[in-house]
Copies of this chain bind each other. A is one copy, B any other.
């Protein structure tokens, strides 16, 4: 099936495959060298930047839908995603950002007044934390674009996506006290200064220069290596690494971190 006819099928008969009143939206945060960004997408029928999102298939779990949609829209696979909140207030998806007329034009179908895509939906919000990687949406004839934006400089988004992004950030920042993060985002070995900066960027808070890293050491999440970073005369801070066993245990059981 070519790309145009698959979109046509989605438009006309999608309600047979997808749940009609439930969608998913994903806030993918990216960290790299002291910067926190959010991944946004845009295509020909949603005319403003928005979170990557889509409908849930009748045969899949919400978690599986979030993973599939993220992979389709951004090309990023195997992200660890966490559900954080569902948005369902009336009128939330009634904005001019969704250009239905254009969608009909592009597919070559005659515009209809009633379409399953036009009903009220509740959307289940997920967030993920990733390295800032090259995001490459599936190239189709709706031609999506992906771009990372600094979390404090987001454009005006489609629908209620500014609110969803704000709540995703708040949820991530709360949960960061209860789940370990940092693997794959920090170098394998890092200084206490680096991990403190990482947590400051993620939490949006200033942390105590010694108390905070000491807490991470005292709960066994990070541990000293025998190596030092050589950054100049008399300056060679010790390198640390995550304790893999404690990290996995904390992922499973949660932790309480301040």
Count residues of chain A with CB under 8 A from any CB of chain B. 29
Kindly list chain B residues whose C-beta atoms are within 8 Å of the C-beta of A206: none
A61 touching B88 in the complex, CB below 8 Å, given contacts A19-B21, A174-B178: yes
Residues of B within 8 A of A90 (CB): 58-61
Cα A254 to Cα B170 with chains together (Å): 10
> Measured between alpha carbons, how far is A198 from B141 in the docked complex, in Å?
59
**A139 interfacial by beta-carbon distance below 8 Å:** no
User: Could you tell me which residues of chain A, from 88 to 142, have a CB within 8 Å of some CB in chain B?
Assistant: 88-90, 120, 122, 124
- By CB atoms of chain B within 10 A, which of A56, A120, A122, A170 has the most? A122
A86 / chain B contacts, CB cutoff of 8 Å: 62, 83, 86, 122, 124
Q: How close is A109's CB to chain B, nearest CB, in angstroms?
A: 26
Copies of chain A in the complex: 2
| Identity of the chain B residue whose Cβ is nearest the Cβ of A82 in the assembled complex | B85
**A87 surroundings in chain B (CB, below 8 A):** 62
Which chain B positions have C-beta within 8 A of A83?
85-86
Complex: how many Å from CA A174 to CA B173?
Answer: 12
Interface string of A225-258 (1 = CB under 8 A from B): 0000000000000000000000000000010111
**Residues from chain B with Cβ under 8 Å of A257 in the complex:** 258
Q: Which residues of B contact A174 (CB under 8 A)?
A: 174-175, 178, 254
Across the interface, do B62 and A120 meet the contact criterion of CB distance under 8 Å? no
List, in ascending order, chain B residues with CB within 8 A of A61's CB: 88-90
Which listed residue (B20, B124, B177) contacts A177, Cβ 8 A? Answer: B177
Residue A22 interfacial (CB < 8 Å): yes
Contact, CB under 8 Å: A58 / B120? yes
Contact with B along A50-69 (1 / 0, CB 8 A): 00000010111110000000
| Complex contacts, A258 vs chain B, CB 8 Å | 256-258
The CA-CA distance from A122 to B21 in the complex, in Å, is 10
Selected from B88, B175, B177, the residue in CB contact (under 8 A) with A22 is: B88
Chain A residues engaging chain B, CB cutoff 8 angstroms: 19-22, 56, 58-62, 83, 85-90, 120, 122, 124, 170, 174-175, 177-178, 254, 256-258
Nearest 7 pairs between A and B by C-beta?
A: A86-B86, A21-B21, A258-B258, A61-B89, A62-B88, A86-B124, A174-B178
